[in-house]
Amino acid sequence: MEKTIDEPPTSAVLLEHCSFSQVVFSSVEKFYVPGGDVTCYYSFTQQFVPRRKDWIGIFKVGWKTTREYYTFMWVALPSDLNKESTKQQEVQFKAYYLPKDDEHYQFCYVDQDGVVRGASIPFQFRPETEEDIVVVTTKGKVEEIEQHNEELLQENQELKDSCASLQKQNSDAQAELQSKQEALEALQSINKKLEQKMEEQKACWETELLQLKEYNQKISSENEKMGLRVEQLQAQLSTQQKEMEELVLRDQDKTEQLQRLKNENSQLVLSLTEQKEQKMKLEQTVENMKKKETMARKKQQELKDENFALSRTLSDNKIVSDVLKREKEKLERENDILKKENNRLVDYMGLHSDSSPDQTQSSDQGAGRQNPGLVYGNPYSGIQESSPPPSLHAAVHADKVREQTPKKQQMQISCLNCPVCGEVFPPTEEQVYEDHVFCHSL
């Protein structure tokens, strides 16, 4: 409870256990003259230690709480407590602040906690009456004693009243204290609960704080990682951008190339069309050539057939020729023999007669006579054979004819004519002839 300079510390609690006797007031007058300053004398018992904000108040008798003071003064602290504790202290109340009525008042010492530590006997602010003085000065001892006794009784009655009120105050204060203590206990239990809760909350918060710290560390490490990753990604991005630029350049090149290729392609398509036309023409030409070839083949086949027939004829003729050759050789040998015989006969005749100029003729004649002696008749002189034996000249002539005629026939038979170009080949070169004819079919 904060207090201003003008407001002393007070308390609703008035009476503490055995606290009224800790400060003792002395030399308290019954009457103080109004308009004059009042000096209050007091002293501390040994167990009491005054404090800085203790004060002394003037209370109307019958007060219930220390808040009901009329006026007050701060207590001056003694410089050395140990020595001067028992020494008499004093405080002066200025006349201006004192009560102006003639009620009963008393001094009370209140410590800085608002607890009353001592109380004085009651007094009044009024001049002493003439009566009192007269009683003291003019009446006899009995009256004086009676008067004093009456005063004492009155004082006693007042003190009793004061005591009763104080006791009442005490019981009220104790009841209040009881309720306050109960309230305090309740508050303490609430406080304990709150403290427990607070500790629990504190533990909870600490674990939460730890978790948050760990989380924070995680987050910061992740953040670092993310930073690294971002740098990597940025590097990657820049390389990819470069690649992209290269690709764009390449794309442009390719596009140009493509354009060129398209142009080339269109040219090629044009040339292809031309070539197709040419091809068509060529195909037509080929078709014509094929037809011609087929015709040529047919013709060749015909020629081959003809050739084959001619070859067969030729081989037949060859056989005949061989036969004739052999016959000729035979005839030549016979002729030789006849010649020899003729010579022998000539020689023989020469021995018996002169040699005649037609010796040769006779020998020829002899040979002609020998002719019918042939084993096989001459096939080319059938007419001469059927005729009567010729004369010597005729025989010679026949011989000449016989020699000439077969030759011609032989030439006609054995010579080989090319059916295509008409070239003539001797019969001995039959192979050459066949190759030549074959060449035309190629």
What is the binding site for Zn ion (CB under 5 A)?
418, 420-421, 423
Closer residue to Zn ion (CB): 286 or 432: 432
CA distance 47 to 19: 11
Closer residue to Zn ion (CB): 90 or 305: 305
CA distance 203 to 319: 143
Minimum Å gap between C-beta 313 and Zn ion is 18
The amino acid at 143: E
**Residue 24 forms beta bridges with which residues?**
43
CA distance 10 to 66: 5
Q: What share of the chain is helix, strand, coil (3-state, %, to 5)?
A: 65, 10, 25
The amino acid at 76: A
Closer residue to Zn ion (CB): 332 or 423: 423
* DSSP letters spanning 311-349: HHHHHHHHHHHHHHHHHHHHHHHHHHHHHHHHHHHHHHH
Q: Which residues of 205-228 are buried (b: 16+ CB within 10 A; e: fewer)?
A: eeeeeeeeeeeeeeeeeeeeeeee
**Helix, coil or strand: residue 24:** strand
Closer residue to Zn ion (CB): 62 or 419: 419
Minimum Å gap between C-beta 432 and Zn ion is 11
Residue with tokens 């004059």: 36
Minimum Å gap between C-beta 415 and Zn ion is 14
Cβ–Cβ < 8 Å for 39, 54: no
Residue in the shown chain whose Cβ atom is closest to Zn ion: 418
Minimum Å gap between C-beta 439 and Zn ion is 8
Q: Which two tokens stand for residue 213?
A: 């710290």
Minimum Å gap between C-beta 420 and Zn ion is 5
CA distance 248 to 102: 118
Closer residue to Zn ion (CB): 55 or 433: 433
Q: Which two tokens stand for residue 344?
A: 């022998």
For residue 418, CA distances in Å to 293, 300, 439 come to 21, 13, 11
Residue of 414, 400, 390 lying closest to 324 (CA atoms):
414
Minimum Å gap between C-beta 292 and Zn ion is 19
Minimum Å gap between C-beta 310 and Zn ion is 13
Cβ–Cβ < 8 Å for 1, 97: no
Closer residue to Zn ion (CB): 216 or 417: 417
Closer residue to Zn ion (CB): 110 or 416: 416
CA distance 45 to 85: 7
Closer residue to Zn ion (CB): 256 or 435: 435
Closer residue to Zn ion (CB): 345 or 418: 418
Minimum Å gap between C-beta 320 and Zn ion is 26
Minimum Å gap between C-beta 390 and Zn ion is 45
For residue 1, CA distances in Å to 57, 113, 114, 184 come to 19, 9, 10, 17
Minimum Å gap between C-beta 416 and Zn ion is 10
Closer residue to Zn ion (CB): 324 or 418: 418
